[in-house]
A and B are shown apart, each in its own frame.
Chain A
Amino acid sequence: MSLLFYIFSGVMLVFGLLVVVNRNPVSSALSLVVSFMGLAALFITLNAYFIGVIQILVYTGAVMVLFLFIIMLLDIKSEQCRKLNYVAMGGGVMIVLAFVAQLTMILAGYAPGKQRLVELPGDAAVHQDVKRVGEALFTHFNFHLQLLGVLLLIATIGVVVLSRRQGEGN
């Protein structure tokens, strides 16, 4: 279990780094797909089976395909010819190093998190993960779910309005 955790978190972080390093947007998007698959595997190691499957379906299935579609649609030349912005690079690296140092110090002082997680017995069939999440969604969080539907409807209408060409259909 621990070995799988290290493999998948390694895959996730390496491909996440490739997203930032790659200069071609298509390679970046494909690296992000692999990174999200590693993240979905981490969700499954945490017994969150439903969230892991949703992560693959929504992120790698829908969102990243949308990204690739837009990248191909806009036909963006890769930025090889552009020179790097060294001020932004230096600032970014310094802020990120400060963030990681801070996180390391905080986690080093957090004793309850250092003990290993207790293993839950059984697999997805025992936990009935999807059933439980569905029950919570459709009973206790019913109103919020409907609100989410309205939000998605508004987003859909907004996208249609935004992507209409100017001066068309008036």
Chain B
Amino acid sequence: MMPSLNEYLMVSGLLFAIGFAGVLMRRNIIIIFMCLEMMLSAANLSLVAFWRFGNGQGMPAQGYDAQVLVFFVIAVAAAEVAVGLAIIVALFRARCTVHVEDLNSMKG
């Protein structure tokens, strides 16, 4: 008894919403970055759910292009995390803070 596609999409949307709420509400830049990762993963979940939905013909699944796309998303996200954390470390060295409210030197 498998769940339906809509249930997977709902769970994926809720995970995205939680990540989005974190980005909007938290002020610590590292937590904001973690929530961004959560949103990326939620998008991956809906991709895989749609792949599985398109493959339900009662035989071993055909076509793995969607999983290749998810693989690329994960790899690019890993590269993004490395660069983003390096930027955060550089920011912390320059300003000694990771709170976005203290980083307002571009404010007019």
Interface residues of A (CB under 8 A from B): 1-2, 5, 9, 12-13, 16-17, 19-20, 25, 28-29, 32, 35-36, 39, 42-43, 45-48, 50-51, 54-55, 58-59, 62-63, 66-67, 70-71, 73-74, 76, 79, 82, 85, 88-89, 91-93, 95-96, 99-100, 103-104, 107, 110, 112-122, 126-129, 132-133, 135-137, 140-141, 144, 148, 151-152, 155-156, 158-159, 162-163, 165
Among A46, A67, A158, the residue within 8 A (CB) of B48 is A46
Chain A interface, >50% SS class: helix
Q: Are A66 and B85 in contact (CB under 8 A)?
A: yes
* Candidates B58, B75, B92; contact of A118 at CB < 8 Å: B58
CA of A48 to CA of B65, assembled, Å: 12
- B10: chain A residues at CB < 8 Å are 103-104, 107
Contact indicator A95/B24 (Cβ below 8 Å) = yes
Asked whether any CB of chain A lies closer than 8 Å to the CB of B31, the reply is yes
- List 10 A-B pairs, Cβ < 8 Å: A2-B2, A5-B7, A13-B14, A32-B37, A43-B45, A54-B71, A92-B25, A96-B20, A118-B56, A148-B75
